[in-house]
Structure 1
């Protein structure tokens, strides 16, 4: 085996970890794949003779590529999106395949990714690399072009935002009971039953993209979210239980055609966040279970 084959073998062994790093930084499965591939192209043209820690080196290169992508994405948006739901990782409730399991290590919830989307690119990278992957601040500083103390401050600011967010209940079975109650109430048109499972300050985000399917929207408060649920109750009959980023969620699909993915954040037995991705173009790019994809 020559040096390039050896490097390729090592890189492939680290690929699940590298995809997990890129997914947390970018919040997009397809962009994470692109970042890892771009990192490999750079690495394959590099001199590896002095590298003592290939895994750390791979992570650093992927992080730099992902940071550049995140900064470019921000620059392309002349105006911030009204509603953006990160790419969900959807798996069947009975199990998780190894690649998705790597993406979901440490339970990166959809609600957490929504919070990460509010951070600056440098804050997000510093938080992800340090708090999720234990990378030293000296290494993070080299990636973001700051001093180690400045990198520490970036992560600290991000951590405060994350800690202020909802901490979901960890019991998947209990989550599923609440989601099922929400779907049943929606199907039955039972407004009071919907209010019973919704937190008074619940937030709903629906990202439908820019197509002809309608406008993206947000709703806050139990009454407003219950009204939205009743308006789209017809979708509840096509709802299939899945895990969305490791939490109880719903895949809405009719005859193999995905219509929406719904992620829920549940705390103290109440739904506190509902994140809906119904953008047809983005749904087509996702690896969704049970659709013959």
Structure 2
């Protein structure tokens, strides 16, 4: 005998945005995040109405399930990324997706531990997350960003609250050690604008002046397009490679855009986005550049068929 249909509002209406925001931060991929949320909802609707009504907080249940699925995905993702051609970077988010993916936050947390929603989707922060264990990532994001207690985090990670507190502490230390204090927002925008102008002018000296002497640049082509297979290190090497790109693709148009909540650049050719560039600016210099050229990761940035740019590959920072 089938059970009668649900009456009244669906108790999980409105949870999707928060779950997508959680899964994206944990996985660095919007496509993977959407898959996680679909699987989470599938598990909810696979239950009987009686089972659903027995759950005191549907939102907490969905978070727990999504977190556990993300832990499984992170475990398999590590193996997949070892086989990835070249460097792997998180999928960049355009401004409209940035606003959409910022789920709610609530509850009390020590201000010293707090990571704001905008900071937690910056490319710099997501790249640091890649260096963490899956459990560290989940503990940090759930507690510091989404304000869940360590007791709640423990239910997802499968460890004690004390162990989860230690995981979050270790994760915060990784963030502090890898990131210099950022420049003020207006200054970051100004430096990115100056970099764009110097890039368009093929002014190597100006580019070098905007880059930290030990700056690094990483490109992600995903094996679909040839790209920088390893990080390019040093201001002069990065500047010369940027100028080379401008020479190889003279019809490239550079636009100032918000990338993961921070000032960045978008390169377009014939109206199609072919590269998204994110920056890490500390004091008055650019310390890191991340260029995403994998067409699969650029789908949210353009309408129309994907275009592939062909640049001579840089296979080593020593070459």
**Residue 309 (structure 2) aligns with:** none
Q: CA deviation at 1:156?
A: 1.4
CA distance in 1, matches of 2:264, 2:129: 20
SS at match of 2:265: strand
Deviates further, 44-53 or 211-220: 211-220
**Residue 281 (structure 1) aligns with:** 296
- Superposition map of 1:176-215 within 5 A: 176-215=189-228
Q: CA deviation at 1:278?
A: 0.5
Q: Which consecutive residues of structure 1, in runs of 5 or more, have no partner in the other structure?
A: none
- Superposition map of 1:250-261 within 5 A: 250-261=265-276
Aligned CA distance change for structure 1 residues 3 and 158 (closer, same or farther; 3 Å): farther
**Residue 311 (structure 2) aligns with:** none
Q: CA deviation at 1:122?
A: 1.1
TM-score between both structures, scaled by the size of structure 2: 0.81
- Superposition map of 1:125-274 within 5 A: 125-166=138-179, 167-171=181-185, 173-234=186-247, 237-274=252-289
2:36 aligned with 1:23:
no
1:71 to 53, 66, 75: 75
Q: CA deviation at 1:63?
A: 0.9
CA distance in 2, matches of 1:214, 1:121: 28
Aligned CA distance change for structure 1 residues 3 and 23 (closer, same or farther; 3 Å): farther
SS at match of 1:251: strand
| 8 Å Cα contact 1:186-1:194 kept in structure 2 | yes
| 8 Å Cα contact 2:280-2:288 kept in structure 1 | yes
Q: Once the two structures are superposed, what CA deviation does each residue of 1:75-96 show, in whole Å capped at 9, x if it has no partner?
A: 445557651110111127xxx7
SS at match of 2:95: strand
Aligned CA distance change for structure 1 residues 215 and 145 (closer, same or farther; 3 Å): same
CA distance in 1, matches of 2:65, 2:7: 19
SS at match of 1:274: strand
Q: CA deviation at 1:100?
A: 4.2
Alignment RMSD: 2.5
SS at match of 2:231: strand
Q: Once the two structures are superposed, what CA deviation does each residue of 1:134-165 show, in whole Å capped at 9, x if it has no partner?
A: 11112212222222222222111111101112
CA distance in 2, matches of 1:77, 1:190: 36
CA distance in 2, matches of 1:185, 1:140: 47
Deviates further, 162-171 or 55-64: 162-171
* Structure of larger gyration radius: 2
**Residue 52 (structure 1) aligns with:** 56
